Structure 1
């Protein structure tokens, strides 16, 4: 096969939204390498999902189907994907960086004497003899970026961070579907599937909000939240927060954005007093435009912001609220 292979994650016949972000990354990687991208779905009776992928720009869609894959287990996915990757021999295998992938993908990479380059935030491309892709991931809560290049002969395994690539960038096309049946035995599955993880119900759905004003620890104290609330009201935006605000009980947990909160993709995301720790960026990097207000000019949030204001939020936010209200007349 060679080329790029993207593993699409599904649960009970429904896609994990991050799968299409990984697919966009895979298509772009294949385009830069001058090769083709394929996709694979693991499960039981996933024909309808495979047919949905057949409308994307892919060389081929593979459905790994077996009765022992009806419910997710790390053992089952590991054994099935190991057999499949050995048969097809892709150059690159991309995954969405989900809890499930973190469960089995490191072991899968080890089976090929490789490592999983996890939680990648961007892919850079060189030219000439050093033209192989450079995978970038963050360290020390986003304070440092580290570059990784695959240099060995085996397949390169990569997981892509949520929000890094846009799912709406997936290219349409036509692809054929092929079924792969792995050789699995019941005694290979050492664990029994438990109750699936379920997120708590939320009365606030930030994922559908077109405008969001989000506040971080830079606000200093709970009494100062009214400044940001007034800006949100003036804009007609939902109010959100980083984890420290919700951990302190200043806002309910359902308004938290980040890896342990909600993932959002508004037309405009206003980050007020948010430094930009990796856990928060995971939840909001899909925003169409980001306006960051922070007194620290070196804050990581500015690296992804479309517009940045360096200064005291207690001076800037009230003036911004006045300007919005004045514009509305």
Structure 2
């Protein structure tokens, strides 16, 4: 009983990036436990999803064809069945709206401990989970008792797996208990414009912009780069940009190829939402701003001088 089961996530016909990160996290834990990595693909176009998730390190992919979108009862029943079949030590799920819906019910029904929002995991005669608390101001470690356990992981903390694998793919059927509730469709909530979590390049504006009208200065840089405009919380709280553009713990977690932070000091809540970016560029007048601690490149200067110069260079 040393295998690991990870649960993929999809929405509107597309696998979410965290599914590939789950494979990385699951493989690392399976290696420490000395077991196999099994992957569950539940609902939707399971055959296509399984093909995309057949990556190095995955031993077996189990597909459960039942409905198109997420359904609490289907997911819980499917995972319970797979845990019974594989006798897995650990089940790892995304720390998403969907994952946090079924994970507690699954842990309760299986009688196993659950640790949510993990940012690192390690096993050495017992499981140790790293997670943030108090608005990411404190990093804590949790020692988990018991021979079996459940985890949800924060997206953006593990590198997504790449390459082509040779996993065994097995289709299973389940009996979903009647509960009086059943998902029959999916309705997208109006987000206002775009999904910043999908952007390759983000130009993010913070309190240093001073006035709403000055956002146009940063928008010009975003346009010159073919980038997407995002913001820190003060900009959204002021009503200068919609909530859909907010990066941070109370906004969205983003992992673009390039993240340009303009007039952003680097509060821990904001950093928690963008620290997984491949390359971070910071522009700030304060040389001691915390954002420079994580930036790959830093420019100490007035954004109203620096940004127009950058626009001229890229146009």
Distance 2:287 2:34 in 1: 41
Distance 1:9 1:54 in 2: 14
Matching of residues 29-44 of structure 1 within 5 Å? 29-43=29-43
Distance 1:137 1:181 in 2: 35
Give, in angstroms, the shift of residue 145 of structure 1: 1.1
Taking a change above 3 Å as real, the CA distance of residues 276 and 85 of structure 1, as seen in their structure-2 partners, is farther
Give, in angstroms, the shift of residue 39 of structure 1: 0.6
Give, in angstroms, the shift of residue 40 of structure 1: 0.8
Taking a change above 3 Å as real, the CA distance of residues 102 and 278 of structure 1, as seen in their structure-2 partners, is farther
Contact 1:75 1:190 in 2 (8 A): no
Verify: 1:275 aligned to 2:266, yes or no.
yes
Distance 1:71 1:325 in 2: 43
Please list the CA deviations of residues 160-180 of structure 1 after superposition, one character each: whole Å capped at 9, or x if unmatched: 11212232x345320111223
Verify: 1:114 aligned to 2:108, yes or no.
no
Distance 1:13 1:209 in 2: 19
Matching of residues 308-319 of structure 1 within 5 Å? 315-318=301-304
Gap runs ≥5 in structure 2 = none
What is residue 52 of structure 1 aligned with on the other side? 52
SS at match of 1:62: strand
Distance 1:286 1:328 in 2: 25
Gap runs ≥5 in structure 1 = none
Q: Which of 200, 205, 217 is equivalent to 2:207?
A: 217
SS at match of 1:75: helix
What is residue 166 of structure 1 aligned with on the other side? 159
Give, in angstroms, the shift of residue 199 of structure 1: 3.9
Q: Which of 129, 134, 138 is equivalent to 2:132?
A: 138
Give, in angstroms, the shift of residue 197 of structure 1: 4.4
Taking a change above 3 Å as real, the CA distance of residues 172 and 278 of structure 1, as seen in their structure-2 partners, is farther
Q: Which of 193, 199, 204 is equivalent to 2:183?
A: 193
Please list the CA deviations of residues 224-246 of structure 1 after superposition, one character each: whole Å capped at 9, or x if unmatched: 54664566567665432123312
Q: Normalized against structure 1, the TM-score is what? A: 0.77
Contact 2:55 2:163 in 1 (8 A): no
Please list the CA deviations of residues 141-171 of structure 1 after superposition, one character each: whole Å capped at 9, or x if unmatched: 11111112323122x211111212232x345
Taking a change above 3 Å as real, the CA distance of residues 245 and 137 of structure 1, as seen in their structure-2 partners, is same
What is residue 251 of structure 1 aligned with on the other side? 241
What is residue 18 of structure 2 aligned with on the other side? 18
